[in-house]
């Protein structure tokens, strides 16, 4: 039996293009004499469809797609993910289903059992878990159909669910496992995924075809990297990351196995490619082509612009340099150099005149009061407004340049440098930003060295440095990582050897700045715990604050 797996870039709610893409893939697979083609989870409607699922019309459109695919399932079986209605009144109204289409019929539907409802996932919000598991017979083989999380309750010390669907399916003696996934990227996920698929294969001793979604949906980036694993636990093949792919495998050969051949998984190479795809798909799926970045001469805006240039082409990334009286000459020079390196058009728009006009306007109220964060924020907000004016006039989307360390401790100005439609590096700590810049510069000096080596500064008052207000980033970032990614308690972090006063201050800053993060752009997620939909914190909470 020949099995095709197709990792495709779907668009949420765009049934027409998703269906067309699958029909095209079916043709390709048939040309290569595949007996079966498998797509990723919820591929008719795109993943995650979120509250669109609450509309009857949306479900009807998904059913229409299934119907078109059913008609195409002629001489080939098609396995496709789609929502389906729960006929039982009690319980949620929908299932998250894998449809098995063959001989132009719906031959079987296997619903998802384990519904991830943590971090970025909300599946129990919409779906009823199934308790029925039946293998599908096709061309003399028996197939165990599973949907994403259904294979993830294995090999954990602290399992989230009480059952393993494959424990129900394996006694029915399937020949292989198909898994339809939409598993979002983090820099750890590809390794974890290989481990989990490996745990299943080791436990059940049959081959697995794991088909992942590829493409970005706002903040969630799906990296592809679909896996074919032989019963010997070796990776038969891993599909490429961050691109569409259709590949046909001979089941007998997969069962026989070959040498283990996983792809390399370099942290910063993967982060770079993930962010580039994140930017590209955000623009493409919204119908935009041009970005705007405010370049300060600092590393955050430099790397944001660099990634945007990789994603959209340098000519489509307009840079705006907005110096004030506090900007150093080298900042402007560094920013200009960066723009030139990527062929990005740039404007220099000094903000002093507008700043002065605000100060004059506000004089009656502010007279006699000292320069403070108000005037600093004013500069950042003038810059935000200039970017938004360019955005409105010329139709470019402003990219937000905040990093994760800043976003965590609230070191940024709401409606100022925190503006923009998409946060590109908001899930990357400052120390990781440096590492990513160095990785990008391994090829050539894309980012001026001076931008990387100078001490970070917001340049909002004379001789300002980030370290005036914050702990050094190598310490701060480690504390933040333990708190945010690892959800460690303050006492745990202190016992790792950090200064209790710094720990307390850092955690307090994280918690009291929830209100700022609430109002910022979606953050491209590349870590196991990003700000945004996967981290839900009270604003008026009084905990560690």
Cβ atoms < 10 Å from Cβ of 152? 24
Annotated active-site residue 319? The verdict is: no
- The continuous run of DSSP H or E covering 517 comes out as helix 514-518
- DSSP characters over 360-378: HHHHHHHTTPPP-HHHHHH
CB of 3 or CB of 151, closer to its own copies:
151
Cβ atoms < 10 Å from Cβ of 46? 25
Annotated active-site residue 375? The verdict is: no
Annotated active-site residue 148? The verdict is: yes
Catalytic residue among 21, 38, 41, 45: 41
Whose CA is closest to 479, among 514, 461, 450, 504? Answer: 504
**Class of residue 361 by CB neighbours under 10 A (exposed 0-12, middle 13-18, buried 19+):** exposed
Query: Among positive and negative, which fits the CA dihedral 273, 194, 99, 251?
Result: positive
Residue 278 Rama label (left phi>0; alpha psi -120 to 50; beta): alpha
Residue reference for tokens 């048939």 = 30
Q: What is each CA distance from 471 to 144, 302, 446, 490, 509, in whole angstroms?
A: 53, 23, 29, 16, 12
Q: What is the rounded CA–CA span in Å between residue 428 and residue 527? A: 8
Backbone angles phi, psi at 167, to 5 degrees: -60, -25
- The continuous run of DSSP H or E covering 2 comes out as strand 2-7
CB of 236 or CB of 390, closer to its own copies:
390
Q: For residue 71, what are its two tokens?
A: 């008609």
Residue reference for tokens 């840079």 = 319
CB of 77 or CB of 378, closer to its own copies:
378
Identify whether the C-beta of residue 525 lies closer than 8 Å to the C-beta of residue 220: yes
Q: What is the DSSP letter of 224?
A: B
Q: What is the rounded CA–CA span in Å between residue 545 and residue 504? A: 9
CB of 89 or CB of 453, closer to its own copies:
89
Q: How far is CA 36 from the centre of its chain?
A: 30
Q: What is the rounded CA–CA span in Å between residue 183 and residue 280? A: 19
3-state SS, residue 299? helix
Q: What is the rounded CA–CA span in Å between residue 263 and residue 228? A: 12
The Cβ-side half-sphere exposure at 136, using a 13 Å CA radius, reads 22
CB of 49 or CB of 410, closer to its own copies:
49
Q: What is each CA distance from 320 to 311, 312, 350, 452, in whole angstroms?
A: 18, 17, 10, 20
Residue 84, strand partner residues: 95
Catalytic residue among 45, 148, 164, 419: 148
Backbone angles phi, psi at 384, to 5 degrees: -60, -40
Q: How far is the CB of 21 from its own copies (least distance, A)?
A: 13
Identify whether the C-beta of residue 298 lies closer than 8 Å to the C-beta of residue 335: no
Residue reference for tokens 């299943």 = 200
CB of 33 or CB of 356, closer to its own copies:
356
- Give catalytic residue positions: 41, 112, 148
């Amino acid at each position: 039996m020949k099995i095709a797996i197709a990792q495709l870039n779907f668009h949420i709610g765009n049934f027409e293009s998703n269906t067309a893409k699958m029909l095209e893939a079916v043709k390709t697979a048939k040309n290569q004499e595949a007996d079966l083609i498998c797509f990723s989870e919820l591929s008719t409607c795109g993943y995650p469809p979120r509250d669109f699922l609450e509309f009857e019309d949306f479900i009807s459109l998904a059913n229409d797609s299934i119907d078109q695919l059913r008609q195409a399932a002629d001489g080939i079986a098609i396995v496709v993910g789609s929502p389906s209605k729960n006929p039982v009144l009690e319980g949620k109204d929908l299932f998250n289903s894998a449809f098995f289409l063959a001989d132009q019929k719906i031959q079987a539907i296997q619903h998802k059992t384990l519904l991830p409802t943590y971090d970025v996932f909300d599946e129990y919000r919409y779906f009823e878990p199934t308790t029925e598991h039946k293998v599908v017979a096709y061309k003399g083989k028996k197939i165990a159909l599973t949907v994403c999380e259904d294979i993830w309750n294995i090999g954990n010390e602290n399992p989230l669910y009480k059952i393993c669907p494959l424990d129900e399916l394996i006694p029915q003696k399937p020949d292989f496992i198909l898994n339809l996934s939409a598993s979002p990227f983090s820099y750890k996920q590809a390794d974890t995924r290989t481990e989990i698929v490996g745990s299943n294969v080791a436990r059940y001793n049959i081959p697995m075809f794991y088909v992942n979604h590829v493409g970005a949906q706002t903040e969630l980036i799906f990296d592809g990297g679909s896996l074919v694993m032989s019963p010997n636990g070796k990776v038969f093949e891993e599909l490429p990351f961050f691109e569409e792919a259709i590949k046909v495998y001979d089941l007998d050969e997969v069962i026989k196995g070959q040498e283990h051949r996983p792809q390399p998984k370099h942290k910063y190479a993967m982060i770079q490619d993930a962010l580039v795809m994140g930017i590209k798909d955000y623009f493409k799926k919204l119908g935009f082509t041009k970005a705007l970045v405010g370049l300060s001469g600092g590393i955050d805006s430099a790397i944001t612009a660099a990634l945007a240039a990789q994603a959209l082409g340098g000519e489509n990334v307009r840079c705006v340099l907005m110096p004030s009286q506090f900007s150093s000459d080298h900042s402007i020079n560094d920013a200009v150099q960066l723009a030139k390196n990527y062929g990005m058009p740039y404007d220099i728009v000094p903000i002093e005149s507008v700043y002065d006009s605000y100060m004059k306007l506000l004089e009656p109220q502010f007279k006699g009061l000292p320069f403070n964060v108000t005037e600093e924020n004013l500069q950042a907000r003038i810059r935000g407004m200039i970017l938004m004016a360019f955005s409105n006039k010329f139709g470019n989307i402003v990219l937000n340049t905040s990093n994760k360390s800043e976003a965590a401790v609230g070191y940024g100005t709401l409606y100022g440098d925190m503006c923009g439609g998409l946060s590109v590096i908001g899930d990357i700590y400052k120390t990781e930003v440096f590492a990513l810049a160095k990785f990008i510069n391994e090829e050539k000096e894309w980012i001026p060295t001076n931008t990387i080596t100078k001490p970070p500064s917001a340049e909002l008052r004379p001789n300002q440095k980030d370290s005036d207000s914050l702990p050094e980033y190598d310490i701060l970032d480690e504390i933040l990582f333990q708190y945010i990614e690892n959800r460690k308690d303050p006492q745990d972090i202190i016992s790792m050897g950090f200064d209790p006063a710094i720990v307390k201050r850092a955690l307090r800053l994280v918690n009291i700045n929830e209100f700022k993060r609430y109002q910022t752009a979606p953050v491209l997620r590349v870590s196991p715990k990003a700000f945004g939909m996967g981290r839900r914190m009270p604003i008026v909470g009084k905990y560690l604050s």
